[in-house]
Every structure is written in structure tokens, then in C-alpha cells.
């Protein structure tokens, strides 16, 4: 029987029920709903609705239900309750009889669903932060193992200046650090308890809401009942943090796909995360990375969907808000899976150092070095830029690298070039010179690695 039978003379049409019911997805809030209910039962003792004995009886039954739910959450799906809140209430009544019917005193499903989803979100933040740290740890380890793998760095996907594979890894550690801190920020804001806001106007019982908030692990109680039941900012914020992080993961995946291509051949992805073609026997496709890139779309889609759903909703609760769940569940599951998969991609990766070095040597990625060299010899940078440009045109024509030009060839363009030019054109020198904070010099990269290890608590 539905929770609201009294007002109705007819049962709802099955077609409406199928459309309206949310149990098939909100069953995932079972644990939170039970914990929230235990908290609420305690609050009801203090306002004289429940005796301490009654509360204990309810709490024991709810604890039992919690154990059942944890051992088999999917079993809930067999029931035809409207949503998880009615399911928990009906199971409680099954266990303790009429006493179970007292629990909903002073509470509404509106503040109930609000507290459930917030508790769930808070738990997810902790879990996702853990996954971010795991991926960062993998990146730092990969960086540590590849400090001497020189490769071309790109702008416009044109070889620009040499970098190391380690420096590339550490760039993603930084992005993930911001993702991590976005979750921390969002956590602070979502850490307020809406329970005790009633349907919209507040509860008619003198509930100590700060105590209730504390009992449920929140830092404080929300301040306005209307806002409490209408607020889904925490969902939007998590979807937004997820979307941006997915953008980072997608760029990581795309870099990997390029590095793994036959053209680049910089890395070889392990058999564990690639798949073959049904037709072309030679192929080894970077599916894991492609899926990370591809799944970014649905996470961003969930963010859009949520914002569009909320836009224009009048205060306070509207059933539209039930649409928050499938999106956030799917998006956070997807983000979680992609973080885990990205770490897995790095597990067994092989960097082809001969090939990355060879590519770094090509493409005139030491041209900036030559310009800086001329500057050191007194040529103004704008002129040296021009001179080097002409030198590169010449080198391309004669199919040589800059380091392969003879002194006589260099001097066609500038007579300040001397024998010492060859040292500065070496890849190693290109790296070593970039020693200001954040640069690619091996010293700086080693520092960045050890700082990151400290930050993320890695030995
Ligand atoms: N299933 C609903 C949701 O997810 C729970 C709240 C229902 N409240 C109500 N007044 N019908 O939003």
C-alpha cells in the first residue's frame, strides 16, 4: 500500500506507478535512509513522541534491516514500494508492527530524501578522493621510472620543445590535485543537515536540529527549511567536479592514444587494457583510453541535465527533483571507473625511450636554444628569432638537424656562432636549462616528484 492511501479512493494506475516510482534506482540510498531514520528516532525521543524503549526497539529493527540491506542491496528491487523511503518504512512496520508507524512523525520525504542524498554524496567524496590519490600515486611512480625518457613536448600538436615523460606525468598529477581540492571544497559546503525541515516550512516538533546534524555526521544543520528541501547544489557541484576531472582524464586518454599510435610509437599499452580487431589481426586498440575519452560526454551530459532540470523550478520540492538521482549515480560511477581504469592503464605501460628520444631530436625542438644562444652573444631576441627561423628553413632544405649543421653553415646566418653552439643544442642541455620552478629540468622534476609524494603520502 502506498504511504498516502487515505486521501485516495482508487489505486494508482500501474502505468503511472511505473513512471513515478523511483525504487529501481533510489534503492542505492537504503543505507543512508536507514541511518537517517535512526537519527530521526533519537530526535523524536527528546520531543516526547517516542519513549526511550520504543526508540531502542526501532533502532534495533533498523540496525537489523541495515545488515540485511548490506548483505544483499539488490533484494530491495523485488519489492513494489514507490521509493526507498516507503520501502524502509514498510520493512520497519513488518518488523515491529504499529510502532513503526510512529517514525515518520514530523518528517517528510522531502527532508528525508534531501538528507539521504547528501549523506550519500559525502560518502562518495571520500571514495572518489581515494581513487584520485591512487591515480596520482600511479602517475608519480610512472614519472619516477621515466625521468630520463626525453620526448617532444607539443603545442598545436607540433613538436615544440623537449620534455621528459616524467614531466608529462606530473602535469596530470597537478590537474588531479585540483580535482581533489574541488571535492574538498564541495564537501565543506554540503556538510549541513537538512533533516528536520519537514515538507518545506520546518517541523512542528521542537527538534534539536544541531544535535541531529551531529548524530548524522554533519558539521551543522541547514538554516532555512525552504532551501533545505529544494537545494541540490551539492549534486550540481559534484557533477561539475566530475565533469572537469573527466575532461582531464579525457586529455590524458587522448595523449595516450596519440603516444600509442603507430606514428608516434612512444608507449606500448599493455595487453591487459587493449583489445584486438575482429578482422585485422595486427591490431591492438587502446579501448580503455578511448572509453575514458568517450565516457566524458555522458558525465558532462548529466551536469547539463541536472542544471536544466533545476532551472525554473519554483520553491520548494517538486517531483522533477527525483531526476537528480540517475544522473549523479551514473556520473559518479563513471568517474570512479575512469579514475580506476586510468591508473590501470599506467600499470604495465612501456615507454619506448629510443623512439621518444629520436622524435625529440627531430622537428627542430632545440631551435629556442639556438635563439637563446644568440641572445647570450648579444643579439636582441627578436633578431635572433628571425635568424634561427632562416637557419631552420635552410636545415630543412638540406635535411639536417640544427646540431648537424657545420659552423660555416651556421655562419651564413650569424657570425656570432662558435664551436660552443653544439653543447647547447644537445637535448640534455635543453632540459637542464629549464630549471626555474615548474620547469622540465631533471632536478626540478625530481623535486616535483618528491613534493608530490609527500603531499599524497607516498613512500
Ligand atoms: N522519490 C522522491 C525523490 O526522489 C522522494 C521524495 C518524494 N516526495 C514527495 N513529496 N513525493 O525525490
Q: What is the pLDDT of residue 282?
A: 74
Using CA of residue 210, residue 213, residue 217, residue 222, what is the dihedral sign? negative
Q: Classify 132 as helix, strand or coil.
A: helix
Terminal-to-terminal C-alpha distance of the chain = 57
C-alpha cell at 271: 595487453
**Do 14-105 and 110-206+222-249+287-349 show the same overall fold?**
no
Is there a catalytic annotation at residue 234? Answer: no
Q: Classify 147 as helix, strand or coil.
A: coil
Query: Quick one: DSSP state of residue 264?
Result: T
Selecting among 181, 184, 275, 277, the annotated active-site residue is 277
Helices marked H in 164-232 — which ranges?
A: 165-190, 209-215, 225-230
Q: Classify 296 as helix, strand or coil.
A: helix
Are 331 and 300 spatial neighbours (Cβ–Cβ below 8 Å)?
Answer: no
Q: Is the CB of 228 under 6 A from ligand 1?
A: no
352 pLDDT band, cuts 50/70/90, is: very high
Q: What is the pLDDT of residue 432?
A: 95
Using one digit for the tens of pLDDT, what is the confidence trace for 128-142? 999 999 999 999 999
* Domain spanning 359-456, CATH architecture: Orthogonal Bundle (1.10)
pLDDT over 60 (residue 290)? yes
C-alpha cell at 370: 639556438
Mutate which of 25, 26, 30, 83 for ligand 1? The one with the most ligand atoms within 8 Å of its CB, which is: 83
Kindly report the number of other CB atoms within 10 A of residue 132's CB atom.
21
Is there a catalytic annotation at residue 156? Answer: yes
Q: Is the CB of 109 under 6 A from ligand 1?
A: yes
Kindly report the number of other CB atoms within 10 A of residue 61's CB atom.
24
Using one digit for the tens of pLDDT, what is the confidence trace for 144-167? 999 999 999 999 999 999 999 999
Q: What is the pLDDT of residue 428?
A: 94
Are 172 and 139 spatial neighbours (Cβ–Cβ below 8 Å)?
Answer: yes
For residues 73 and 69, what is the distance between their CA atoms, to the nearest angstrom? 5
Using one digit for the tens of pLDDT, what is the confidence trace for 186-241? 999 999 999 999 999 999 999 999 999 999 999 999 999 999 999 999 999 999 99
Give the ligand 1 atom nearest the CA of 84. 1
Are 131 and 333 spatial neighbours (Cβ–Cβ below 8 Å)?
Answer: no
Flag the least confident range among 83-87, 331-335, 363-367: 363-367
CATH code at 110-206+222-249+287-349: 1.20.200.10
Residue of 119, 115, 105 lying closest to 41 (CA atoms): 105
In CATH, 14-105 is 1.10.275.10: yes
CA of 67 to the centre of ligand 1 (A): 25
Are 331 and 304 spatial neighbours (Cβ–Cβ below 8 Å)?
Answer: no
Q: Taking the model in full, what pTM does it have?
A: 0.94
For residues 229 and 456, what is the distance between their CA atoms, to the nearest angstrom? 37
For residues 122 and 213, what is the distance between their CA atoms, to the nearest angstrom? 14
Domain layout of the chain by residue ranges: 14-105, 110-206+222-249+287-349, 359-456
Q: What is the pLDDT of residue 8?
A: 85
Mutate which of 22, 32, 82 for ligand 1? The one with the most ligand atoms within 8 Å of its CB, which is: 22
Which residues lie across from 150 on neighbouring strands? 164
Amino acid at each position: 500500500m502506498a504511504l498516502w492511501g487515505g486521501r485516495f479512493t482508487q489505486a494508482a494506475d500501474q502505468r503511472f506507478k511505473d513512471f513515478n516510482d523511483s525504487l529501481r534506482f533510489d534503492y542505492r540510498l537504503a543505507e543512508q535512509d536507514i541511518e537517517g531514520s535512526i537519527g530521526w528516532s533519537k530526535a523524536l525521543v527528546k520531543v516526547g513522541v517516542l519513549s526511550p524503549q520504543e526508540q531502542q526497539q526501532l533502532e534495533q529493527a533498523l540496525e537489523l534491516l541495515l545488515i540485511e540491506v548490506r548483505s544483499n542491496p539488490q533484494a530491495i528491487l523485488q519489492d513494489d514500494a514507490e521509493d526507498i523511503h516507503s520501502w524502509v518504512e514498510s520493512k520497519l512496520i513488518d518488523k515491529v508492527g504499529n510502532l513503526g508507524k510512529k517514525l515518520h512523525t514530523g518528517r517528510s520525504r522531502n527532508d528525508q530524501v534531501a538528507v539521504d542524498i547528501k549523506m550519500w554524496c559525502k560518502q562518495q567524496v571520500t571514495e572518489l578522493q581515494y581513487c584520485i590519490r591512487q591515480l596520482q600515486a600511479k602517475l608519480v611512480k610512472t614519472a619516477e621510472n621515466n625521468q630520463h625518457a626525453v620526448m617532444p613536448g607539443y603545442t598545436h600538436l607540433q613538436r615544440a620543445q623537449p620534455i621528459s615523460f616524467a614531466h608529462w606525468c606530473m602535469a596530470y598529477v597537478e590537474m588531479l590535485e585540483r580535482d581533489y581540492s574541488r571535492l574538498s571544497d564541495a564537501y565543506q559546503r554540503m556538510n549541513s543537515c537538512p533533516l528536520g525541515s519537514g515538507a518545506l516550512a520546518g517541523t512542528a516538533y521542537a527538534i534539536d536540529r544541531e544535535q541531529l546534524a551531529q548524530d548524522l555526521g554533519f558539521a551543522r544543520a541547514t538554516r532555512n527549511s525552504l532551501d533545505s528541501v529544494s537545494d541540490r547544489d551539492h549534486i550540481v557541484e559534484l557533477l561539475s567536479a566530475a565533469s572537469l576531472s573527466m575532461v582531464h582524464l579525457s586529455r590524458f586518454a587522448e595523449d595516450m592514444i596519440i603516444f600509442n599510435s603507430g606514428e608516434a610509437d612512444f608507449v606500448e599499452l599493455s595487453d591487459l587494457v587493449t583489445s584486438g580487431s575482429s578482422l585485422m589481426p595486427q591490431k591492438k586498440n587502446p579501448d580503455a583510453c578511448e572509453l575514458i575519452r568517450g565516457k566524458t560526454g555522458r558525465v558532462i551530459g548529466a551536469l547539463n541535465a541536472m542544471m536544466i532540470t533545476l532551472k525554473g523550478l519554483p520553491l520548494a520540492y517538486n517531483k522533477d527533483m527525483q531526476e537528480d538521482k540517475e544522473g549523479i549515480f551514473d556520473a559518479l560511477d563513471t568517474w570512479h571507473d575512469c579514475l580506476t581504469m586510468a591508473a590501470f592503464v599506467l600499470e604495465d605501460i612501456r615507454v619506448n625511450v629510443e623512439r621518444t628520444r629520436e622524435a625529440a631530436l627531430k622537428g627542430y625542438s632545440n631551435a629556442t636554444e639556438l635563439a637563446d644562444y644568440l641572445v647570450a652573444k648579444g643579439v636582441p631576441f627578436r633578431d635572433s628569432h628571425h635568424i634561427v627561423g632562416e637557419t631552420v628553413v635552410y636545415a630543412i632544405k638540406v635535411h639536417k638537424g640544427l646540431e648537424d649543421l657545420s659552423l660555416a653553415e651556421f655562419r651564413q646566418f650569424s657570425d656570432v656562432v662558435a664551436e660552443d653552439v653544439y653543447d647547447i643544442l644537445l637535448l640534455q642541455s635543453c632540459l637542464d636549462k629549464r630549471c626555474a620552478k615548474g620547469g622540465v629540468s631533471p632536478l626540478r622534476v625530481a623535486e616535483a616528484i618528491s613534493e608530490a609524494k609527500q603531499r599524497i603520502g607516498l613512500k
